[in-house]
Chain A
Amino acid sequence: MPNFEAGKFDVIVVGAGHAGVEAALAAAKMGAKTLVLTINLDMIAFMPCNPSIGGPAKGIVVREIDALGGAMGKVIDKTHIQMRMLNTGKGPAVRALRAQADKVLYQNEMKRLLEEQENLTIHQAVVEELLVEDEKVIGLVTQVGAIYRAETVIITTGTFLRGEIIIGDLKYSSGPNNQQPSIKLADSIRELGFELVRFKTGTPPRVNSKTVDYSKTEIQPGDDVPRAFSYETTEFIMDQLPCWLTYTSETTHQIINENLHLSPMYSGMIKGTGPRYCPSIEDKVVRFNDKPRHQIFLEPEGRNTREVYVQGLSTSLPEHVQRRLIASVPGLENAEMMRAGYAIEYDAIVPTQLWPTLETKKIKNLYTAGQINGTSGYEEAAGQGLMAGINAALRVLKKDEIVLSRSDAYIGVLIDDLVTKGTNEPYRLLTSRAEYRLLLRHDNADLRLLEIGFQIGLVPQERYEKFLGKKQRIEDELSRLRNLMIKPNETTQALIRSVEGSELKDGIRAADLLKRTEMNYDLVGQLVPSEIELTLEEKEQVEIQVKYEGYIEKSLQQVEKLKKMEDKKIPDQIDYNAISGIATEAKQKLKQVRPLSIAQASRISGVNPADISILLIYIEQGKIAKITG
């Protein structure tokens, strides 16, 4: 088939999964002429697994994406079937939203956004080869021989690279959900010299809800208050669908134990590394064999379908065993299986081959984002896609690139972990990965990031001004409460008594009264009413910042230290071989990761403090040499 020239773009995004759509939208909005190519246009932003977005850490990422001007939050706000705030009984740092998505509506809404976006061209195509000249990407070629030229290319191909589906002893070449896999593109990437790893993940079976006996399960409704991810959402979906909770039974465990030899996980057929946090049901039963039962959540996949996702029953056992497993779960005795669960193996690139901008070190102007970088999860993919899109567009616009720090955002933690430490299993964000999680709350994502979103042109002027107003009102209210004295008069004491607090002995600053456990903003507001009525969000912000001031202060001090180390840049040209004092293992790691700052270097495992000291001295020495020499 003869090749033909099909066009020239600033940014080409390969893939329209969760990473690809954010990358494409961001680049186009920033003014880059953008093309997105994807295997199947009906599968844009498809969710091959859980029909759910958000949750601890991940939900905060969705808010961060929204604050930076990304799409995920707004789209799920329009297309969910239920939304809940999690961890409400805990501190503000770990609260998070989770939504059950209407899978198809989500895809449709995302597709519409892409279609309407200016500067953005969408085309169905299978990319087979990257064109590279002088270690710089210049374009790509598709299955039909179309050559697209580009200044920058972002690859977001998820689990498609040499994807293989496994059910029992059946194994065949396939992308997720029987989509066409990407084999030639995987070859092209390998031929360019990238190191790839083989990872694995899996998904549970789906059943038809009309055959489920819900009377044997517990209902799990959504919250009955309006919730939204996006700060801009004003219309809330109050008509929600519940999920349902049931459990595995003794029979389930027995079936698994009897059929373990049929599991590809145990027969050695699956070689890819799977994530520990998404074990299959056979894994769970084997590893925690003292547990009499495991939870199973039944999650509707949408409003216009009867298909139900059976969370907790992820498996790659043969289909006939899966059928028996389902029947062994209370409520699912007569359930009809619509799709079987399966495991999928795929190639991912070793993420330490990337700069923190997600550009590859090997090939200039080539970026990768999403599951191809060794992560797992829609939100993780979307966060990376957004950053890759932003940085590719900035490259085209010849502006400075943007790297979020670990103290700025969960997205910063995610990318830094990937490019600095790498990962030996599909990487998922957890709140415990963030050392400054008290600062990285879902309630302050806009305060942390909206400014950046505005600067790069993803957040429109009007939204930015609204935000500035909010910020100002919060600051004013904080300083008012910090300065205002409350007298121990009878009104005050009565109010304190009413919430069983201990009475005041003396005057007290309003902020200090608010710090008491039994107090909240509205109570204090009764004593010292504010002239302007704050929004719920603003009140919450004021309350959190006052109540947890001490802890926030501690975290800020740590961040201060981190920033100093981040400011110490490591020159790109540094020759680690020339530094005699650094230990051999550390040298190898440093050469591989090529950290940009002393802070990043110190996070590499195998690089110890003495190596860092020596590195620091070496760099300073270089500076002195330049000045004096």
Chain B
Amino acid sequence: MEFDTIAAISTPLGEGAIAIVRLSGTNAISIANKVFRSPNGKDLFTQASHTIHYGHLVDPKKDEVVEEVMLSLMKGPKTFTREDVVEINCHGGLVTVNRVLQLILINGARLAEPGEFTKRAFLNGRIDLSQAEAVMDLIRAKTDKAMNVALGQMDGRLSRLIKSLRQALLETLAQVEVNIDYPEYDDVEEMTLPLMIEKSTWVRDEIDKLLLTSSQGKILREGLSTAIIGRPNVGKSSLLNSLIQENKAIVTDIAGTTRDIIEEYVNVRGVPLKLVDTAGIRETEDIVERIGVEKSRQVLNEADLILLVLNNAEQLTEEDRRLFKTIEDMDSIIIINKTDLPTEIDVDEVKQLAGNKRVVTTSLLKEEGVDELEEAIASLFFEGTIEASDLTYVSNARHISLLHLSKSTITDAIEAAQSDVPVDMIQIDVTRTWEILGEIIGDTVEESLIDQLFAQFCLGK
């Protein structure tokens, strides 16, 4: 049996240092080959089955390295699905894995349906008869769940926007159809190429905006934007380091070491974070540092989550109090660091300033309290205070890949219109765009075009 190529994240979402994106199907190897670069330029097609390869994933369109990975190559039929299978192991992080998955989807794979790997295993004779019932149950259960999640989690704004795009496309389509099916009707405006370009371009721009700004999409691509703020030398860079467990930011005991903004992507208990270490926020004379400080304020304004670090060994300053004021209305966690040193800070005042924000104490030097902090971040996220959840993420991966697809089909339409292809051919791509957008909101009513036709225009003998 021959199927198209499917892909999905095959490790449980959330924690775990290693995540696997699995591809299965006829084009698994060729898709992997498109995005995988090994240091010595291996061609995956020529490699033996059941081998592992080190290399980088590259976005072939931008020629940009996306991730460092280990790739396992398994040729059918000795695989779980009996098809060619490629597994891409990347380290951790929902964000990372998601980026890898997106890359694979854009390059020709389709996001697997719930239970689809197992279904293929069955259809290709890998699983025996007694297991078939179980597979069917699995599909039913997973589909129902996914549907509930999709319905429950779908951002109302997103679905409204998609609906309005579809309506615009539908009206365009109906107009083209009327021109075709009722050529003699003179009171219907002719859908000309410039008009088609205008309408399609508007739709593409909206899709672009969606891809860029949809808050969920942004979280997926970039992680929850998290700013670490605090006066100089309180331990901001140390916090970042302990969260990413490697020394990327420079840690010194000279106040004002971090003069610019350092960004890191991490996965804290399943929550994708884009951590931003800021230069200590304070009035400063040093010009280089001043620029850093200004940027910090900006980061602060754009952040979804704030980690405010205080120094246990110093008294609260006016600056600290000002920072509290700034983050008053934002999702934030207060960290009292350096608990290994004698307490100078007025803990009661901190608690009072924090209000209902959580206060966590740490000694980053002794690696104490980080667990509690991570737990605080995760609970903020999952309890819905910050908008998202790992299940939304699943449907989001679908949404984003569908948005990308719809963007490429509407772009085809625009380009065709620009080179004078007849309207009724461009229609093919416009229709496809309409269908893909429909998949996002689960709307596949087939008759709608014909309904639109007769609702919009007065036709007949």
Residues A624 and B129 in contact in the complex (CB < 8 Å), given A90-B423, A314-B460: yes
Interface contact A87-B460, CB-CB below 8 Å: no
Q: How far, in whole Å, are A548 and B184 apart by their CA atoms in the complex?
A: 26
Residues A278 and B135 in contact in the complex (CB < 8 Å), given A617-B119, A617-B122, A620-B122: no
A518-556 interface code vs B (CB 8 A; 1 in, 0 out): 000000000000000000000000000000100100110
Interface contact A431-B460, CB-CB below 8 Å: no
- B422-457 residues with Cβ-Cβ distance < 8 A to A are 422-425, 428, 446, 449-450, 453-454
Q: How far, in whole Å, are A145 and B431 apart by their CA atoms in the complex?
A: 56
A318-358 interface code vs B (CB 8 A; 1 in, 0 out): 00000000000000000000000000000000000000000
For the complex, is A49 an interface residue (Cβ under 8 Å from B)?
A: yes
For the complex, is B183 an interface residue (Cβ under 8 Å from A)?
A: yes
Distance (whole angstroms) from the CB of A355 to the closest CB of chain B? 22
Residues A90 and B460 in contact in the complex (CB < 8 Å), given A277-B454, A548-B425, A617-B119: no
- A272-290 residues with Cβ-Cβ distance < 8 A to B are 276-279, 283-284, 287-288
- B109-139 residues with Cβ-Cβ distance < 8 A to A are 113-116, 119, 122-123, 125, 128-129, 132-133, 135-137, 139
For the complex, is B461 an interface residue (Cβ under 8 Å from A)?
A: yes
Q: How far, in whole Å, are A279 and B424 apart by their CA atoms in the complex?
A: 26
Q: How far, in whole Å, are A50 and B184 apart by their CA atoms in the complex?
A: 15
| Most chain A CB atoms below 10 A, which of B113, B123, B186, B428 | B428
Interface contact A277-B122, CB-CB below 8 Å: no
Interface contact B461-A56, CB-CB below 8 Å: no
For the complex, is A311 an interface residue (Cβ under 8 Å from B)?
A: yes
Interface contact B460-A278, CB-CB below 8 Å: yes
Some 29 contacts from A to B, beta carbons below 8 A apart, are A86-B183, A92-B422, A93-B425, A94-B180, A204-B461, A277-B454, A277-B459, A283-B460, A288-B458, A294-B458, A430-B177, A430-B450, A517-B419, A551-B421, A554-B428, A555-B428, A581-B136, A610-B139, A610-B143, A613-B116, A613-B119, A613-B139, A614-B136, A616-B123, A617-B123, A617-B139, A620-B122, A620-B123, A624-B125
Which of chain A's residues have a CB closer than 8 A to the CB of B187?
Answer: 291, 294-295
Which of chain A's residues have a CB closer than 8 A to the CB of B125?
Answer: 624
- A82-136 residues with Cβ-Cβ distance < 8 A to B are 86-87, 90-94
- A169-214 residues with Cβ-Cβ distance < 8 A to B are 204
Distance (whole angstroms) from the CB of B61 to the closest CB of chain A? 20
| Most chain B CB atoms below 10 A, which of A204, A580, A605, A614 | A614
Residues A295 and B181 in contact in the complex (CB < 8 Å), given A93-B424, A621-B132: no
For the complex, is A9 an interface residue (Cβ under 8 Å from B)?
A: no
Residues A614 and B139 in contact in the complex (CB < 8 Å), given A56-B180, A56-B183: yes
For the complex, is B318 an interface residue (Cβ under 8 Å from A)?
A: no
Residues A618 and B136 in contact in the complex (CB < 8 Å), given A438-B428, A564-B2: yes
For the complex, is B285 an interface residue (Cβ under 8 Å from A)?
A: no
Which of chain A's residues have a CB closer than 8 A to the CB of B423?
Answer: 90-91
Q: Across chains A and B, which 8 residue pairs bring their CB atoms closest together, nearest first?
A: A91-B422, A610-B143, A581-B136, A276-B454, A288-B458, A581-B140, A91-B424, A94-B180
Which of chain B's residues have a CB closer than 8 A to the CB of A312?
Answer: 460-461
Distance (whole angstroms) from the CB of B197 to the closest CB of chain A? 15
Distance (whole angstroms) from the CB of B410 to the closest CB of chain A? 15
Q: How far, in whole Å, are A499 and B128 apart by their CA atoms in the complex?
A: 66
Which of chain A's residues have a CB closer than 8 A to the CB of B428?
Answer: 438, 551, 554-555
Which of chain A's residues have a CB closer than 8 A to the CB of B143?
Answer: 610
Q: How far, in whole Å, are A115 and B247 apart by their CA atoms in the complex?
A: 96
Interface contact B129-A621, CB-CB below 8 Å: yes
Interface contact B181-A56, CB-CB below 8 Å: yes
| Most chain B CB atoms below 10 A, which of A284, A312, A433, A517 | A433
New A-B pairs, 8, CB < 8 Å, besides A291-B187, A580-B137, A617-B122: A56-B180, A284-B458, A291-B458, A517-B419, A613-B113, A614-B136, A614-B139, A616-B123
Distance (whole angstroms) from the CB of B199 to the closest CB of chain A? 17
| Most chain A CB atoms below 10 A, which of B119, B182, B185, B422 | B422
| Most chain A CB atoms below 10 A, which of B113, B122, B181 | B181
Distance (whole angstroms) from the CB of B123 to the closest CB of chain A? 6
Which of chain B's residues have a CB closer than 8 A to the CB of A579?
Answer: 136
Q: Name A431's contact: one of B128, B135, B181 (CB within 8 Å).
A: B181
Q: How far, in whole Å, are A86 and B125 apart by their CA atoms in the complex?
A: 53
Which of chain B's residues have a CB closer than 8 A to the CB of A49?
Answer: 461
Which of chain B's residues have a CB closer than 8 A to the CB of A564?
Answer: 2
Q: How far, in whole Å, are A614 and B461 apart by their CA atoms in the complex?
A: 46
Which of chain B's residues have a CB closer than 8 A to the CB of A624?
Answer: 125, 128-129
Which of chain B's residues have a CB closer than 8 A to the CB of A91?
Answer: 421-425
Residues A311 and B2 in contact in the complex (CB < 8 Å), given A517-B419, A610-B143: no
User: By the criterion of a CB under 8 Å from any partner CB, how many residues of chain B are at the interface?
Assistant: 47
Distance (whole angstroms) from the CB of A290 to the closest CB of chain B? 10
For the complex, is A234 an interface residue (Cβ under 8 Å from B)?
A: no
Which of chain B's residues have a CB closer than 8 A to the CB of A609?
Answer: 113
Q: How far, in whole Å, are A624 and B450 apart by their CA atoms in the complex?
A: 43
User: Which residue of chain B has its CB nearest to the CB of A429?
Assistant: B181
User: Which residue of chain B has its CB nearest to the CB of A517?
Assistant: B420
Which of chain B's residues have a CB closer than 8 A to the CB of A50?
Answer: 461
Distance (whole angstroms) from the CB of B440 to the closest CB of chain A? 15
For the complex, is B339 an interface residue (Cβ under 8 Å from A)?
A: no
Q: How far, in whole Å, are A49 and B424 apart by their CA atoms in the complex?
A: 30
Distance (whole angstroms) from the CB of A277 to the closest CB of chain B? 5
For the complex, is B179 an interface residue (Cβ under 8 Å from A)?
A: yes
Which of chain A's residues have a CB closer than 8 A to the CB of B420?
Answer: 517
Distance (whole angstroms) from the CB of A545 to the closest CB of chain B? 14
For the complex, is A432 an interface residue (Cβ under 8 Å from B)?
A: yes
Which of chain B's residues have a CB closer than 8 A to the CB of A204?
Answer: 461
- A592-619 residues with Cβ-Cβ distance < 8 A to B are 605, 609-610, 613-614, 616-618
Q: How far, in whole Å, are A554 and B409 apart by their CA atoms in the complex?
A: 12
User: Which residue of chain A has its CB nearest to the CB of B451?
Assistant: A276
User: Which residue of chain B has its CB nearest to the CB of A293?
Assistant: B187
For the complex, is A215 an interface residue (Cβ under 8 Å from B)?
A: no
Distance (whole angstroms) from the CB of A235 to the closest CB of chain B? 27
Interface contact A605-B446, CB-CB below 8 Å: yes
For the complex, is A57 an interface residue (Cβ under 8 Å from B)?
A: yes
Which of chain A's residues have a CB closer than 8 A to the CB of B424?
Answer: 90-91, 93-94, 431, 437
User: Which residue of chain A has its CB nearest to the CB of B119?
Assistant: A613
- A432-465 residues with Cβ-Cβ distance < 8 A to B are 432-433, 437-438
Q: How far, in whole Å, are A628 and B125 apart by their CA atoms in the complex?
A: 12
Q: Name A581's contact: one of B116, B137, B185, B450 (CB within 8 Å).
A: B137
Q: How far, in whole Å, are A554 and B425 apart by their CA atoms in the complex?
A: 11
User: Which residue of chain B has its CB nearest to the CB of A88?
Assistant: B183
Q: Name B177's contact: one of A294, A431, A618 (CB within 8 Å).
A: A431
User: Which residue of chain B has its CB nearest to the CB of A608?
Assistant: B143
Q: How far, in whole Å, are A579 and B132 apart by their CA atoms in the complex?
A: 12
Interface contact A87-B180, CB-CB below 8 Å: yes
Distance (whole angstroms) from the CB of A515 to the closest CB of chain B? 10
Q: How far, in whole Å, are A56 and B461 apart by their CA atoms in the complex?
A: 15
Distance (whole angstroms) from the CB of B178 to the closest CB of chain A? 10
Which of chain B's residues have a CB closer than 8 A to the CB of A283?
Answer: 460
Distance (whole angstroms) from the CB of B136 to the closest CB of chain A? 4
| Most chain B CB atoms below 10 A, which of A93, A312, A517, A579 | A93
A461-481 interface code vs B (CB 8 A; 1 in, 0 out): 000000000000000000000
Q: Name B183's contact: one of A87, A284, A287 (CB within 8 Å).
A: A87
Interface contact B129-A628, CB-CB below 8 Å: yes
Q: How far, in whole Å, are A222 and B271 apart by their CA atoms in the complex?
A: 70
Which of chain A's residues have a CB closer than 8 A to the CB of B425?
Answer: 91, 93, 438, 548, 551
Distance (whole angstroms) from the CB of A448 to the closest CB of chain B? 19
Residues A433 and B450 in contact in the complex (CB < 8 Å), given A87-B183, A91-B423, A628-B129: yes
Q: Name B449's contact: one of A432, A437, A555, A618 (CB within 8 Å).
A: A432
Residues A432 and B140 in contact in the complex (CB < 8 Å), given A90-B422, A94-B424, A620-B123: no
